[in-house]
Amino acid sequence: MSLQQIIDRRLSGKNKSIGNRERFLRRHKEQIREAVKRAVDGRGIRDIERGEDVHIPKKDLSEPVFGHGDGGVREVVRPGNQEYVKGDRVAKPKGGSGGQGGGQASDSGEGEDDFVFHLSREEFMQVFFDDLALPNLARTTLADTPEWKSQRAGFVSDGTPTNLHVVRSMRGALGRRIALGMDKRRELHELEAREQELLRDDRPETARLLLETRERIRALKARLAAIPFLDPIDLRFRARVRIPVPTTRAVMFCLMDVSGSMDEARKDLAKRFFILLYLFLTRHYEKIDVVFIRHHTQAQEVDEQAFFHATETGGTVVSSALVLMEQIIRERYSPTEWNIYGAQASDGDNWHHDSGRCRELLADKLLPLCRYFAYVQVAEPEQNLWEEYGKLAGNMPHFAMRKAVEAAQIYPVFRELFRKEGASP
Amino acid sequence: MSSREDRRHPERAATPPRGMPERRQRQPLRRMLPLLQRPTQPLPSPNDWSFELIEDYHAVIKQTAERFGLDTYANQLEVITAEQMMDAYASVGMPVNYRHWSYGKEFIATERHYKRGQMGLAYEIVINADPCIAYLMEENTLAMQALVIAHACYGHNSFFKGNYLFRMWTDASSIIDYLVYAKNYVADCEERHGLDAVETLLDSCHALMNHGVDRYHRPAKLSLAEERARQKEREQHAQSQVNDLWRTLPRRPDRPDEAAESRRFPEEPQENLLYFIEKNAPLLEPWQREVVRIVRKIAQYFYPQRQTQVMNEGWATFWHHRLLNQMYDDGYLSDGMMIEWLKSHTNVVHQHPGANLNPYALGFAMYTDIKRICEAPTDEDRAWFPDIAGGDWLPTLDHAMRNFKDESFIGQYLSPKLMRDFRLFAILDDEAKSDYEISAIHDEAGYRHLRQALSRQYDLSAREPDIQVWNVNLRGDRSLTLRHVQHQNRPLHESAQDVLKHVGRLWGFAVALESVNARGDVTRRWSVPAQAG
């Protein structure tokens, strides 16, 4: 009997419907963007990278077909009659027909619940990046880890002399020499034994045989000697591969103005700005500390919750935050051990005598310590802080500043940062 | 009646080799063939399956099925994971399909329900193809795999091969090829014309999918190669055809009204909306016509399945029950296996009182009942079923499986005993009256009425509204009019307006839908104006 083969499909092609899923997401882009926006508002900077549930109203998903509505005459057969006899009358439920008469019309009747589905981490980040108008290069930079470590990975037959593995090569050569000389050596041993035999025998005709044997022995020895001691095919080299590694650690300072003029929308923009820097850093460093410093006329270090959600009132002295940042660096984050990144967000409002001091503080004290310092102004009007910082921007390559009144304008602040890292392998 | 082999291998059927019985219509066995040799011990029955065990079980199931004379396509068993099962769910159970967001939605919904434990996945999916593909899920226990093999590979499979609707409307040997072709064609269109254009087109086609089938005349079957070759030809031809339609009309600007009255288009109402649109919509591009055609073809393929739910599931359930019991009687199955699959079987055929009828339960009960009528008829059965009472059950069941659909199957074979067992009753819901009326119950006076009512309930043409292409205004604005003929005064659902928008998108000019009651009066009218641009 010939039986059909059972096919094991388990390892081949799951996610066949990924294309369908993409089309589904594409169709509901707006709702998804809205959901991602809400999620970004609600999440801490550190846990931005996970999926999110998205709700889509049922009516937006309907696929209409012609069908019967309520009304008219219809007859339905049901099982399980307990009490009725022919001719019985049963009151219809209030509010039209439903219930008993449901028939086939109710198979989609899951009520008006939203359609909920889970956006995966990758999809979530994709939408988030879309919102920030991140160019592709920057996306790959965010996805890649540009630090490399070289690691041994076995042996190869080709390489540079410095990587030559002597023991392996000699072992290979020995094996080859044994293999190539095997039969000749066996014959040689036989001939030598014969020679001894012939020497003991002193009949005259053996003299010629002896001569022939010796000739043969000499030829074999020559051929054995011709087997090369070391051949190029014996050579073995250590192979090394480069593997990416996140290196060392970094600290990120988030500085934000929390004076009365920073409303929720501006804080939200600032938050996206911080998130982007944080994401960048997570790709590059194993350990990241985040320090939140908020300020009005005085600066204080706070936790994330207080940083984004508590409101204060009063004037603004930006330099207080910079002083605090420098102080924290000195106390806790030695620049020789930590890569220091600064990100400052403000609406540009500052006590006008203070702005010059801010520029000096940055130029003389902070920038020499930092790998990168980015300033984003989340409001349009240019005030003296903007002007003072503007003087710095020209001649300090690791200082960037930008105005951003909507999310898509944030990315250019990091252009320098991403380009530099993106250009290295 | 011509057989499938006739169509597929004309040369072979024309000259049957001598000495061999002619392979035309396979005669059903009159009774079961005897077991050749009783096994010395039952098959091993650990909880977990292995490929060897599945093969062993499959061999015995196959052999038992052959003793009952079940005629099937070759079987192809494929083991898949739960995730792949969800993939298969999402693309209407087919191994390949074109891409569309609605399948994505389906997948997401299935996945969510499954992950939250709100629903289990079906144990199997079986595809009406030749060879017949059956998916076994990795998570199943060995007993479940045996159940699935008996259910899908011998139950559904023999139904696909035997039932007249499937023989007439579907071509099992070419469906997979056609789906591959459809998938590639749609992907190609997406590349050439953009995702949005294809998506909206498919949306519109899907809205009319249920009205894209031929109910009465059978489409010609084509092989994949022919299909491809013809597609190019069709593309050019169809377009010129459409233009001709407008061009060849007589131009009589002085008397437009008379001309419109003198010629009616279409001459007779057309029930296949998608076919009409494919052939006649004035503005569709050739590729759009082809996509309409693809959706229509696939709808046609699924049409028999929608009409034979009770019969098909009942048949498969009956046979897994029969085969596995037979194997137990023959000494192949251990007690533990029996208990396990019987538990699943019981869940499958459970009927909740007062709820909608479970097609598995009804179908299983009906086939079992037919067997009972053959083997142990009562006087009542002799009166109701004089032609089958006391006959051989195998050929009777075979006949019942081959030549009916749900509607006629119930009309023919639902017995009074079954109506009593199910305690069936009919409820009449008349909009004009304030109460529901119990129109019939399972008693002597109600049997015939009940049977008729239930049969109508499974009649697809009564379940779905009857909508046909009524008229195209050739002389004027080219508007299309559809007509809904009310069945029992039942109105259309409110979604009609949305569907009509889709029709308008395909047609390209204004469309209207009239709902007509039994007296021929138009009771309601929906319309969508011509789309701008």
Residues of B in contact with A118 (CB under 8 A): 112
Give B233 or A275, the one with higher predicted confidence: A275
* Average pLDDT score over chain B: 84
Domain that holds residue B429: 349-461
Which of B461, B484, B503 lies at the terminal end of a domain, its last residue? B461
Report yes or no: B83 at the A interface, CB cutoff 8 Å. Answer: yes
Alpha-carbon separation of residue B305 from B122, B132, B156, B221, B405 (angstroms)? 17, 15, 11, 18, 10
Which amino acid, one-letter code, is at A36? V
pLDDT of the residue at A135: 56
pLDDT of B485 above 60: yes
Of B92-106, B183-197, B391-405, which gets the smallest average pLDDT? B92-106
Residues of A in contact with B210 (CB under 8 A): 65-66
Residues B498, B433, single domain; the answer is: no
Of the candidates A370, A371, A407, A402, the one whose C-alpha atom is nearest the C-alpha of residue A389 is A402
| Chain A closest-CA separation from residue B65 CA (Å) | 14
Of A271-280, B313-322, B438-447, which gets the smallest average pLDDT? A271-280
Select the residue of A13, A68, A70 nearest B465 (Cβ to Cβ). Answer: A68
Select the residue of A64, A85, A87 nearest B499 (Cβ to Cβ). Answer: A64
* Domain-embedded: residue B428: yes
Residues B485, B381, single domain; the answer is: no
pLDDT digits (tens, 9 = 90+) for B434-475: 888 999 999 998 999 999 999 999 988 788 898 999 988 887
Which of B442, B461, B480 lies at the terminal end of a domain, its last residue? B461
Chosen from B79, B89, B99, B100 to mutate, greatest number of chain A CBs within 10 A: B99
Select the residue of A4, A20, A104 nearest B107 (Cβ to Cβ). Answer: A20
Residues B438, B484, single domain; the answer is: no
Confidence of residue B90 (pLDDT cuts 50, 70, 90): confident
Give B149 or A5, the one with higher predicted confidence: B149
Query: Does residue B481 sit in helix, strand or coil?
Result: strand
pLDDT of the residue at B499: 92
Of A109-118, A288-297, B414-423, which gets the smallest average pLDDT? A109-118
* Domain-embedded: residue B510: yes
Chosen from B72, B85, B101 to mutate, greatest number of chain A CBs within 10 A: B101
Report yes or no: B92 at the A interface, CB cutoff 8 Å. Answer: no
Residues B437, B489, single domain; the answer is: no
Report yes or no: B403 at the A interface, CB cutoff 8 Å. Answer: no
Which of B411, B445, B461 lies at the terminal end of a domain, its last residue? B461
Of the candidates B422, B444, B443, the one whose C-alpha atom is nearest the C-alpha of residue B364 is B422
Of B106-110, B397-401, B455-459, which gets the smallest average pLDDT? B106-110
Look at A79 and B502 and tell me if their CB atoms are within 8 Å: no
* Average pLDDT score over chain A: 78
Report yes or no: B506 at the A interface, CB cutoff 8 Å. Answer: no
Residues B445, B486, single domain; the answer is: no
Give B525 or A314, the one with higher predicted confidence: B525
pLDDT digits (tens, 9 = 90+) for A111-123: 456 788 888 877 8
Confidence of residue B120 (pLDDT cuts 50, 70, 90): low
| Chain A closest-CA separation from residue B178 CA (Å) | 18
Residues of A in contact with B108 (CB under 8 A): 21, 24, 115, 117
pLDDT of A409 above 80: no
Number of separate domains in chain B: 2
Residues B356, B443, single domain; the answer is: yes
Look at A64 and B434 and tell me if their CB atoms are within 8 Å: no
* Domain-embedded: residue B499: yes
User: Per the structure block, which two tokens stand in for B525?
Assistant: 């009218």
pLDDT digits (tens, 9 = 90+) for B70-80: 999 999 998 98
Look at B199 and A23 and tell me if their CB atoms are within 8 Å: yes
Confidence of residue B6 (pLDDT cuts 50, 70, 90): very low
pTM of structure: 0.70
Residues of B in contact with A87 (CB under 8 A): 437-438
Burial class (CB in 10 A: 0-12, 13-18, 19+), B309: middle
* Domain-embedded: residue B309: no
Look at A100 and B427 and tell me if their CB atoms are within 8 Å: yes
* Domain-embedded: residue B387: yes
Contact status, residue A354 vs residue A324, Cβ threshold 8 Å? no
Confidence of residue B2 (pLDDT cuts 50, 70, 90): very low
Residues of A in contact with B353 (CB under 8 A): 79-80, 82
Residues B451, B491, single domain; the answer is: no
pLDDT of the residue at A162: 81
Enumerate the β-bridge partners of residue A340.
A251
| Chain B closest-CA separation from residue A132 CA (Å) | 24
Report yes or no: B505 at the A interface, CB cutoff 8 Å. Answer: no
Report yes or no: B195 at the A interface, CB cutoff 8 Å. Answer: yes
pLDDT digits (tens, 9 = 90+) for B158-176: 999 999 999 888 888 888 8
pLDDT of the residue at B374: 94
Select the residue of A65, A76, A89 nearest B499 (Cβ to Cβ). Answer: A65
Residues B469, B445, single domain; the answer is: no
> A80 — alpha (psi -120 to 50), left (phi > 0) or beta?
left
pLDDT of A1 above 60: no
Rounded Cα distance, B333 and B324, in Å: 8
B436: nearest CA in chain A?
A: A90
ipTM greater than 0.90, yes or no?
Answer: no
Contact status, residue B306 vs residue B460, Cβ threshold 8 Å? yes
Residues B476, B432, single domain; the answer is: no
For residue A297, count other CB atoms closer than 10 A to its CB.
14
